[in-house]
Structure 1
Amino acid sequence: MRRPASLVPVLTVAALLLTACGTERADSGHSGTDAAGPSSPTPMNDPGKDGVRITSLTLPPASPSPSPSPKRSFAVSAEGLPTHADSGIVAAYEVTNTGTKALTYSVVITFMSTSGGAMANQTATVRDVGPGKTVRGTVRAGELAPGSQRVTRAKVLEVNKVPAGEAPAPAGTCPASGIRVSADDGDAAMGLRVVGLHLDNCGKRDYAIEGYPQLQLLDDDLNPVTGIKILHGSGDITTGAGPDEQPRPITLKPGESAQAGLVWRNTTQAGTAANIPYVRVHAKPGAAPVTVTPHLDLGTTGQLGVRPWKKTQR
């Protein structure tokens, strides 16, 4: 029996509609990756750094040779575009506080190839680790660059630790004071360093400030550093950061921000170079302290310039 001709257009339209809706047709079954079995962590013999060490590394199984796959039909749409996948690489770490005060840690972990090249760096923040306590966690390598070598190990690259009560507030949160203080990554050119200090009124009341943030320089053990002169303004250090401005009263309404700046040179001549990891910041006299980590490489200059608070223009 011959099929009625009127059914052919109907079937064609139905197929086109299914394709336009993003339908994918393929035989069911497990892929080669699934067949390889789940990944398992490999213990790491890592000496660690400043109380932080890598305990294990989990790598995805090596992908087998691809097998022929059935034909598929895809719709082309914004929602159907391919997305970048996580590498599936996970490092487990532990943080042990051997001090006498609760600390918040910021840990940079680097994922490396057999040759020692860094394939990815990730930062983990571990808050409120009490004295004598050990906290464990994991960090993912995330997406790797195309053509990256296979990751085979991980290590602790950098550890910053500040008093738990003085750690900058996490992004998107507001401390009880209603004022959030932080430092940016800074800028460096021809030996000149500039780091911005940021003050955000995330509370519900106006906040008045005037003058310069109060600073205390701290060493690796969070002890005060002496012998460094803190200058009001940056004119004695450089004219490249712009002219010095006189401090003036500022009132920040909720949602408004202000910025100050740290300015220095890393010139090294005769003497011992000063490298200062931490700066304790009081937005104004009596304000709660916040300890930031600009890593001041002051060389042998013996001085640091601080610029006054200035309202940030929206």
Structure 2
Amino acid sequence: MTTVSRRLGALLSAGALLAACDAPGPPPLPPTPPPTATTAACVDGVRLTAGPVDAASGLRAMGIVLENCGTRPYTLHGFPVVRVLDDQRAAVDVTVGNGSEPVSAKDSWDAPARAVTVPPGGTARARVLWRNTVTAGDPVIATYLSVAPTKGAKEQLLTPDGGLDLGTTGRLAVNAWTDAG
């Protein structure tokens, strides 16, 4: 290689590096979308959100977090009231049981239901369990959960990540509220 070729190669390389420095960086990330009305609303002083779905060996688990966004303590009694809805928000024929046993063996989440008082700004949590077991028939795929913190309270719509792939079991289990603090 001649001296001229080496110098030309060096010049071209330097030019490419300089051009790369002047090139615009990666496009900015899109802004975080605003929360949906169901997650942003503070219905009766509380906000419900769905945690990520944890899936292992066909057993699915998802946390529900209640945030007291009101100004007074909020007392929960026992279990959230949960209904399973399809993509049209119509009720799906699924049995919702209290405690893990309708779906799984008892575990640490199966403490006895008790009153939990959540202070303003505080949180409580519960868990929903289901299995994606298919034996015979058409599997049930649901899109939403309608959840009321306690019996008689206003329901809030939650959208589990990836929906609810309930298989053909026709069952969902709900654990009692616990203090998340």
Q: Taking structure 2 as the reference length, what is the TM-score of the superposition?
A: 0.78
Q: Does 1:247 align with 2:118?
A: no
Q: Does 1:267 align with 2:124?
A: no
Whole-Å separation in 2 of the counterparts to 1:250 and 1:286: 17
Indicate which of 97, 100, 104 corresponds to 1:231: 97
Q: CA deviation at 1:123?
A: 7.1
Residue in 2 aligned with 1:310?
178
Q: Does 1:210 align with 2:69?
A: no
Whole-Å separation in 1 of the counterparts to 2:88 and 2:27: 36
- Taking only the aligned residue pairs, the percentage that are identical comes to 35
Whole-Å separation in 2 of the counterparts to 1:243 and 1:199: 16
Structure 2 CA distance for partners of 1:176 and 1:259, relative to 1, 3 Å: closer
Structure 2 CA distance for partners of 1:177 and 1:236, relative to 1, 3 Å: closer
Residue in 2 aligned with 1:87?
27
Question: Contact (CA 8 Å) 1:187, 1:195: kept in 2 or not?
Answer: yes
Q: Which has the higher contact order (CA 8 A, sep 6+)?
A: 2
Q: How does 1:82-161 map to 2 (within 5 A)?
A: 86-88=26-28, 124=33
Counterpart of 1:262 in 2: which secondary structure?
Answer: strand
Residue in 2 aligned with 1:61?
none
Structure 2 CA distance for partners of 1:251 and 1:265, relative to 1, 3 Å: same
Whole-Å separation in 2 of the counterparts to 1:203 and 1:188: 33
Structure 1 runs not aligned, ≥5 long:
1-64, 70-84, 91-121, 128-163
Q: Does 1:183 align with 2:50?
A: yes
Structure 2 runs not aligned, ≥5 long:
1-14, 20-24
Question: Contact (CA 8 Å) 1:275, 1:297: kept in 2 or not?
Answer: yes
Q: CA deviation at 1:272?
A: 0.9
Residue in 2 aligned with 1:36?
none
Whole-Å separation in 2 of the counterparts to 1:257 and 1:208: 11
Whole-Å separation in 1 of the counterparts to 2:87 and 2:113: 32
Whole-Å separation in 2 of the counterparts to 1:176 and 1:312: 20
Q: CA deviation at 1:86?
A: 4.3
Q: How does 1:267-286 map to 2 (within 5 A)?
A: 267-286=133-152
Whole-Å separation in 2 of the counterparts to 1:168 and 1:222: 16
Structure 2 CA distance for partners of 1:203 and 1:67, relative to 1, 3 Å: same
Whole-Å separation in 2 of the counterparts to 1:250 and 1:221: 33
Whole-Å separation in 2 of the counterparts to 1:283 and 1:303: 20
Structure 2 CA distance for partners of 1:297 and 1:123, relative to 1, 3 Å: farther
- Equivalent position amino acid for 2:133 in 1: T
- Equivalent position amino acid for 2:16 in 1: P
Residue in 1 aligned with 2:39?
168
- Equivalent position amino acid for 2:180 in 1: T
In proportion to residue count, which structure has more helix?
2
Structure 1, residues 107-156: CA drift from partner, whole Å, max 9, x if none?
xxxxxxxxxxxxxxx974585xxxxxxxxxxxxxxxxxxxxxxxxxxxxx
Q: CA deviation at 1:266?
A: 0.3
Q: CA deviation at 1:89?
A: 7.9
State the number of aligned residues: 160
